[in-house]
Structure 1
Amino acid sequence: MHRGLAQATPHSLLDDARIVRQVELNLKRNTAQDASEAIEAAVAAYCLSDCRSSLWNLETFSLLWGTALWNEASPAQRVLLNQLYWVAYYSQIVSAEIATIFLNHVAAVGLYAIEDFRPVCDNLDLETRQERVHIHAFKTIGEDFEHRLFGRRIFTYPMRHPFTETMIFADSNRFQTWWKSVQLRAFTAMAGSPFLGSQYLLIRGLRTLNGKIVQHKLSQFFANHAERERAPIPAAISWHHFSDESFHFNTSRIVGLEVPRVLPAPSAFERWVVNRGVAGCQLDHYHFSVAVNGIFWFDPALFAATYLLLRSPSFALDHAGALRMLERCYCEDSDGVQAAARTHAEAVESYRRFVEPVTWLSAANREMRHMAGNGVDRYLQTNRRAFARFQHRASALKDQPQLAPADLAGSSA
């Protein structure tokens, strides 16, 4: 596009050739390495019996690793816990990517007002297509795994719309879920602002930064496998997924941090909206989970799902034994709790570094004060109070052969 014929607007990427090069190079590289076909082929070739006895991740990335359950599990049960980590972790990723597909389009609406917006939106279009492939892969394998082993959902769930609580096991209730839906719908009404369009990518980058760190570690199981062609297919999918998501994070970084340089200074209202978004991220990521290290689930909301797992034939605990194991895993300090707390602390520091150049954030958001307020002592106190309440209603689970997914996902104990 000839700069002299560009529209008379202060919103132009053409004013900063460096940003244009970054955006175009990211698109070129993501297009060249697009893992969609490899993931689709892996899903088509997946058969549980081929990988049922294999680890799918590094051993430390196992459900309830480092807790009493892990320490006392048999070798076969440890393999199951390792595979369940994959199912649970990527069930959360599905929820996040459903929201990403929708909000990518919302952000693009605002970015239309930036001259030469096409390379930015082309990045988002490619990412959206890749997200659909990721969702299909994770849902297909996760649901097949749970159906064959348990005959019911534990960590998976039916397809959901984007106007809901993104965190699957959250410290939430019906009113809070409804209010979040209202906030998401309100944000779409503001989509005409180029600045807010760019800042969705800032918040997206912040929300996915810890995922980038964890998923790099998950991808290494396949990357370092002695015989890649014989590696478990879920491990290969983790590797391909991380490859795609690395470029998605680059898009978030470039658009969220660099594009605002060519935009007018944000209004007071726009700054308020962005600060509310970052505060919401802190709220969502305040908790950490000993069950799935690296996902910010509210562990009391996992009590019912874990109870069902412990009562399943895979562990075959009776009612009293399942409750006691729940208490030992979630209410007592352990290597698993300490590891989850370290991951959370690492996330806090990485978030601080990411937003350091963002001048329009409040001190509380730049320093991640709310998120940094959690720790092992508070985590254990919260779980102990919740477990005392859970025991009173656990009798309803004792003889119930099947619970609806709504009874397991996103409910506080």
Structure 2
Amino acid sequence: MTTNTEASKTIEQSSTLHELKMKKHLKLTEITYQNNTESDYTEKIKELDKNFNYSIDREHYWSQPEFSILYGTPLYEVASSAQKIALNHLFWTGLYNVTAASETNTILYNQITSSVFNSLGDYETLCHELDVESSQERHHIHAFRTIGNTTEMNLLGEAVMGNPLIGNDTKMMQQGLVAHLSPGPIRQIFSLNWGSTPFLASQYYAIRFIANMILKQTEYKRSQYFRELENKGEFIPAPTAISHYHFLDESFHTTISQMIAQELYKDFKKPTAYEKFMANFSIYMMQCTVLNGLSAGSIGSFFSDKLFVMASVYKVLRAPVFGMSSQEALSWIEKCFCHEHEGLHLNLKYHQRLLSELRRFFDKLDYTWAVNREMRVMASGGSISKAIQSNTKFFNQFSRSVACEE
């Protein structure tokens, strides 16, 4: 009788503890939803988007100089002041082109996962929050596309960052980070799984959190830059302000990603072996595709330069802003991407910071493989020598392909 009573108390205590934890993250959802709906950051982005005029902002940096294409490379050191500002603007354009593509994916997966949560009851506020986020993303995307295209037309005479440049890898990057997870059929399986069970719907937000944190690496500094200009009473370019307000909008989204990924999944029954496998497989593929390298030409990028950066830089160097011949452009690309320089060392610092943050995040998930919990693939990719070796191999292929086109 005593044993049964003690067992009953243990069960009750466990149930009460679970309910308290559940109430805690549901309360966090309510607070986040209220704060998000009461904020006016998206409205400010819409207004800045509507009134953007490149001629007003063209002579100003839009962020700290380190967030410029080719920062810390030999070419950046000899570039003119006007060229350095152009590289700063094009970095903004390239970053937010990928962000716009990723947020297009976010809208889709918010809808897919929300349908799962909505069917369970008790998560109405969370579903409302995801709807608000999707609405905000649409305005973000419009602003990024509008300003990016306008900037490229002014600097390059054509849209470079927003168009596929070379090969299937680049085309997938143009579709966003999640789209680059794996080849089409497997990517479709991920999509189907995220809409199939509460656990897998929750697990998608671990992937979304990675994307949130990749962007935060540079956007936090951009927000600081906005604050510095504001405090000094200096002119604030519209793209700088958009980065700041987007950072504030995304802080709500990041909170939700973390809450769902780390806490909400515990509300549901234990994952099956299949669910654990698919969850870990998606995290592993995210490491293998967008966290497996170190860019030599773009601070805050941790995938191979062959996916996006090198081909984009070639287009930029051939455009009027630099006006190089094909051979001159290739010569500078070889110097900037195939040799050690300050930019690589700076990017390695950003890589190590993100690696530490993601390890802390995944250490709190009780279903992850060691390779994901310790972010081993990402850790292995944080190597300057490996980046140079990879770039040299691709540069040889790239230069031959350019020669064949001439």
TM-score range, shorter chain: 0.7 to 0.9
1:405 equivalent in structure 2? none
Which amino acid in 1 is paired with 2:399?
A: Q
1:178 deviates by 11
For 1:17-32, what aligned pairs fall within 5 Å after superposition?
Answer: 17-32=23-38
2:339 equivalent in structure 1? 332
1:183 aligned to which of 165, 182, 186: 186
Distance in 2 separating the partners of 1:33 and 1:22: 16
1:67 aligned to which of 65, 73, 81: 73
1:16 deviates by 2.3
1:378 aligned to which of 380, 386, 391: 386
2:398 aligned to which of 376, 386, 390: 390
TM-score, normalisation: structure 1: 0.86
- 1:241–1:177 CA distance, 2 compared to 1 (3 A): closer
What 5-or-longer segments of structure 2 have no aligned partner? 1-17, 165-169
For 1:170-319, what aligned pairs fall within 5 Å after superposition?
Answer: 180-190=183-193, 191-226=195-230, 230-284=235-289, 285-301=291-307, 302-319=309-326
1:210 deviates by 2.5
- Structure (1 or 2) with the greater helix fraction: 2
2:157 equivalent in structure 1? 151
List per-residue Cα deviations over 1:214-236 (Å, max 9, x = no partner): 21111111121046683100000
- Contact 1:165–1:180 (Cα < 8 Å) also in 2: no
Aligned length: 378
Distance in 1 separating the partners of 2:275 and 2:172: 23
1:322 aligned to which of 321, 329, 336: 329
Which amino acid in 1 is paired with 2:372?
A: N
2:56 equivalent in structure 1? 50
- 1:268–1:75 CA distance, 2 compared to 1 (3 A): same
TM-score, normalisation: structure 2: 0.88
2:355 equivalent in structure 1? 348
- Contact 1:107–1:198 (Cα < 8 Å) also in 2: yes
What 5-or-longer segments of structure 1 have no aligned partner? 1-11, 159-163, 399-413
1:256 deviates by 1.0
List per-residue Cα deviations over 1:40-96 (Å, max 9, x = no partner): 100111101001110001111111100011101011111111111111111111111
1:83 equivalent in structure 2? 89
- The alignment's C-alpha RMSD in Å is 2.3
Secondary structure of 2:229 counterpart: coil
- Contact 2:219–2:247 (Cα < 8 Å) also in 1: yes
Distance in 2 separating the partners of 1:116 and 1:228: 47
1:120 deviates by 1.0
2:103 aligned to which of 70, 73, 97: 97
For 1:352-363, what aligned pairs fall within 5 Å after superposition?
Answer: 352-363=359-370
Which amino acid in 2 is paired with 1:215?
A: E
Bigger mean CA offset, 200-209 vs 324-333:
200-209
2:14 equivalent in structure 1? none
Distance in 1 separating the partners of 2:403 and 2:30: 58
- 1:229–1:342 CA distance, 2 compared to 1 (3 A): closer
Identity of aligned residues (%): 31
Distance in 2 separating the partners of 1:170 and 1:289: 17
- Contact 2:190–2:282 (Cα < 8 Å) also in 1: no
- 1:295–1:29 CA distance, 2 compared to 1 (3 A): same
Distance in 2 separating the partners of 1:295 and 1:250: 22
Secondary structure of 2:263 counterpart: helix
Distance in 1 separating the partners of 2:180 and 2:341: 32
2:373 aligned to which of 366, 376, 397: 366
Distance in 2 separating the partners of 1:360 and 1:86: 37
Secondary structure of 2:173 counterpart: coil
List per-residue Cα deviations over 1:317-369 (Å, max 9, x = no partner): 22221111000110010001111122122222111011111110011110111
Distance in 1 separating the partners of 2:367 and 2:180: 28
